[in-house]
Structure 1
Amino acid sequence: MSHETETPPDPKRTLTELELAGERLPDWRMLIDRLHASFDTADFVAAVRLVDAIALAAEEMDHHPDLDLAYGRLDVRLISHDVGGVTSRDVALARTISKLARAAGVTPHPERTSVLELGLDTADEAEIRPFWAALLDYDTIEAWGEIQIRDATGRRPTIWFQPTQAHDVPRQRWHLDLRIPPEVVEDRIAAAVQAGGELVDDTHAPAFWVLVDPQGNRACLTTWQGRESP
Structure 2
Amino acid sequence: MSTPLTGQRIADAGLDGWAFLLHYGSGGLETRIRTENFQAGLAIVTAIGSAAAELNHHASLDLRPSRVDVRLSSRDAGGVTELDVRLARRVTELATASGCTLDANVSRIELGLDTPSYGKIASFWTAVLGTEHVVGDDSWGDVGDPNHALPMIYFQRGSGERRWHPDLWVDPAQVQPRIDAALAAGGTLVSDQDAPAWWVLADPDGNAVRLCTWQPGETPLCDSQYRPNA
Task: Determine if the TM-score, normalized by the shorter chain, exceeds 0.5.
Answer: yes
Match of 1:135 in 2: 128
Change (3 A) 1:69 1:88: same
Conserved? CA contact 1:78–1:86, under 8 Å: yes
Conserved? CA contact 2:114–2:164, under 8 Å: no
TM-score w.r.t. length of structure 1: 0.62
How far apart are the structure 1 equivalents of 2:103 and 2:46?
20
Q: Residue 107 of structure 2 aligns to a residue in which SS? A: coil
Q: Deviations over 1:126-179 (max 9, x none)?
A: 322233234332351369x95322223433211111332336xx7x889xxxxx
How far apart are the structure 2 equivalents of 1:43 and 1:151?
30
Match of 2:79 in 1: 85
Higher strand share: 2
Q: Residue 116 of structure 1 aligns to a residue in which SS? A: strand
Match of 1:70 in 2: 64
Larger-gyration structure (1/2): 1
How far apart are the structure 2 equivalents of 1:155 and 1:95?
26
How far apart are the structure 2 equivalents of 1:27 and 1:115?
16
TM-score w.r.t. length of structure 2: 0.62
Conserved? CA contact 1:133–1:140, under 8 Å: no
Q: Deviations over 1:63-95 (max 9, x none)?
A: 110100000110011111122211111111111
Match of 1:18 in 2: 8
- Give unmatched runs, 5+ long, in structure 2: 166-230
The equivalent position to 1:41 in structure 2, one of 18, 27, 35, is: 35
CA RMSD of aligned residues (A): 2.5
How far apart are the structure 2 equivalents of 1:118 and 1:165?
19
Shift of the alpha carbon at 1:114?
A: 0.5
Q: Residue 20 of structure 2 aligns to a residue in which SS? A: strand
- Give unmatched runs, 5+ long, in structure 1: 1-10, 175-230
Q: Percent identity, aligned pairs only?
A: 37
Match of 2:108 in 1: 115
Q: Residue 50 of structure 1 aligns to a residue in which SS? A: helix
How far apart are the structure 1 equivalents of 2:143 and 2:41?
32
Residue type at the aligned position of 2:14: R
Conserved? CA contact 1:123–1:165, under 8 Å: yes
Q: Residue 108 of structure 2 aligns to a residue in which SS? A: coil
How far apart are the structure 2 equivalents of 1:162 and 1:42?
44
Conserved? CA contact 1:149–1:160, under 8 Å: yes
The equivalent position to 1:29 in structure 2, one of 19, 26, 30, is: 19
Residue type at the aligned position of 2:88: A
Higher relative contact order (CA 8 A, sep 6+): 2
Shift of the alpha carbon at 1:59?
A: 1.0
Q: Residue 95 of structure 1 aligns to a residue in which SS? A: helix
Matched ranges for 1:183-198 at <5 A: none
Q: Residue 121 of structure 2 aligns to a residue in which SS? A: helix
